[in-house]
């Protein structure tokens, strides 16, 4: 099968492509603009494989996207390319509207043209989305596939919009589509703006560890390799027209996550006499519109596709800390000018 992955140089896209090349026999074309978040170094382990190829392109560039989709003629489009960081969407929402909404619209049009041209009964457009489209939970309850959309950030609103476009292309034009909405991912090769790698790197550099607000916000953490496995299962066994929620059943407060990272680091890299990673924890101004809690009800994908995560949070987090400690070169190569500074407090443009 031929699989076009968009955003394959990003955190989840690169995990998906490493999985597809190492664990399946499909041909994979990675289409990525290589923004600050896209790094080909993350694909070094499979870059020389003859079943893998890369093309640098912007999903907002209609002509290029039409041409690439038409000439590759994929059986699957797995669409991950997006602006993904909530704090950046607070600072500069425009890019999120362009890439996440207009880019998805372009890709859907290209997919529709291909589908009508080839009449390929095996074709599927898989849109990779987020649980943030459902908004924020209180102390109880879980997001199901029936939870009404209620996005709160420019990022989640742009992803919700793209989810609706995908669904509409399915209903109106008969394009075979499937949507997945996943909780917070963590693991190796994640850009160090996101909570877990930011805390690991900052702690190691003896910088302060910023906790937004009181640290009681809850996220449901899933190891990125478990997400990659789930995506492949949905892309190959999911029912067209359906949505599947994906999550780790690993609810943690942000304060718990940061404290656990400090514990693991203390064991792996003792901080030196009279020093403590925990003492670096600093409560800072809250994120505007900060969602309180995300938690996924994964019973549909468990029951219908037989997917279960394989990594526990404890083992996955430990491996992640070890990976960042051993891969300073990758971190330096991808960071560009970013030095773990606070994002997301500026007024929007």
For ligand NAD, the binding residue among 3, 4, 5, 12 (CB under 6 A) is 12
Count the residues of the shown chain that bind ligand DAU, applying the rule CB under 6 A: 19
The verdict on 10 binding ligand NAD (CB under 6 A) reads yes
Residue 38: contacted member of ligand NAD, ligand DAU, none (CB under 5 to 8 Å, by partner type): ligand NAD
Helix axis angle for 104-118 and 62-72, nearest 10°, is 30
The verdict on 217 binding ligand DAU (CB under 6 A) reads yes
Q: In the complex, what is the shortest distance from the CB of residue 115 to ligand DAU, in angstroms, rounded to a whole number?
A: 27
Q: In the complex, what is the shortest distance from the CB of residue 132 to ligand DAU, in angstroms, rounded to a whole number?
A: 5
The verdict on 298 binding ligand DAU (CB under 6 A) reads no
- What is the rounded distance in angstroms from the CA atom of residue 196 to the CA atom of residue 316? 12
The verdict on 227 binding ligand DAU (CB under 6 A) reads no
Residue 232: contacted member of ligand DAU, ligand NAD, none (CB under 5 to 8 Å, by partner type): none
Given the DSSP bridges, would you call strands 124-130 and 177-182 parallel, antiparallel or unpaired?
Answer: parallel
For ligand DAU, the binding residue among 195, 224, 246, 265 (CB under 6 A) is 195
The verdict on 52 binding ligand NAD (CB under 6 A) reads no
Task: Give the residue numbers annotated as catalytic, written as ranges.
Answer: 131-132, 155
Which tokens hold the place of 74? 């994929």
The verdict on 230 binding ligand DAU (CB under 6 A) reads no
Long-range pairs of 83-87 with CB within 8 A, sequence gap ≥ 24: 83/35, 83/37, 83/155, 83/158, 84/10, 84/11, 84/37, 84/155, 85/37, 85/155, 85/191, 85/193, 85/194, 85/343, 86/132, 86/153, 86/155, 86/156, 86/287, 86/344, 87/193, 87/287, 87/343, 87/344
Report whether 43 contacts 21 (CB < 8 A): no
Q: In the complex, which residues of this chain contact ligand DAU (CB under 6 A)?
A: 84-86, 130-132, 183-184, 194-195, 198, 210-212, 217, 219, 254, 287, 294
């Amino acid at each position: 099968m031929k699989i076009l992955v968009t955003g394959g140089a990003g955190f989840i896209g690169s995990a998906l492509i490493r999985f597809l090349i190492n664990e399946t026999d499909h041909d994979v074309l990675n289409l990525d603009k290589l923004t600050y978040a896209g790094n080909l170094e993350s694909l070094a382990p499979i870059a020389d494989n003859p079943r893998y190829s890369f093309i640098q392109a912007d999903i907002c560039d209609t002509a290029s996207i039409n041409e690439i989709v038409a000439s590759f003629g994929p059986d699957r489009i797995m669409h991950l390319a997006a602006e993904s960081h909530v704090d950046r969407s607070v600072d500069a929402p425009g890019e999120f509207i362009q890439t996440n909404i207009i880019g998805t619209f372009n890709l859907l049009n290209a997919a529709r043209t291909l589908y009508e041209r080839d009449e390929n009964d095996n074709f599927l457009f898989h849109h990779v989305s987020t649980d943030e489209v459902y908004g924020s939970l209180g102390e109880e309850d879980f997001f199901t596939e029936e939870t009404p959309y209620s996005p709160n950030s420019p990022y989640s609103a742009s992803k919700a919009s793209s989810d609706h476009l995908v669904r509409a292309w399915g209903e109106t034009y008969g394009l075979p589509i499937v949507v997945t909405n996943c909780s917070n991912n963590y693991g190796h090769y994640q850009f160090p703006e996101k909570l877990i790698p930011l805390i690991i790197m900052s702690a190691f550099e003896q910088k302060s560890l910023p906790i937004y607000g009181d640290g009681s916000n809850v996220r449901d953490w899933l190891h990125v390799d478990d997400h990659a496995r789930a995506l492949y299962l949905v892309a190959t066994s999911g029912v067209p027209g359906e949505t599947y929620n994906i999550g780790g059943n690993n609810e943690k407060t942000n304060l718990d996550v940061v404290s656990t990272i400090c514990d693991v680091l203390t064991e792996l890299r003792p901080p030196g006499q009279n020093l403590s990673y925990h003492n670096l924890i600093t409560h800072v101004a809250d994120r505007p519109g900060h969602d309180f809690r995300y938690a996924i009800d994964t019973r549909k994908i468990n029951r219908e596709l037989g997917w279960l995560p394989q990594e526990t949070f404890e083992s996955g987090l430990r491996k992640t800390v070890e990976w960042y400690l051993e891969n300073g070169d990758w971190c330096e190569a991808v960071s560009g000018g970013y030095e773990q500074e606070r994002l997301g407090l500026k007024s929007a443009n």
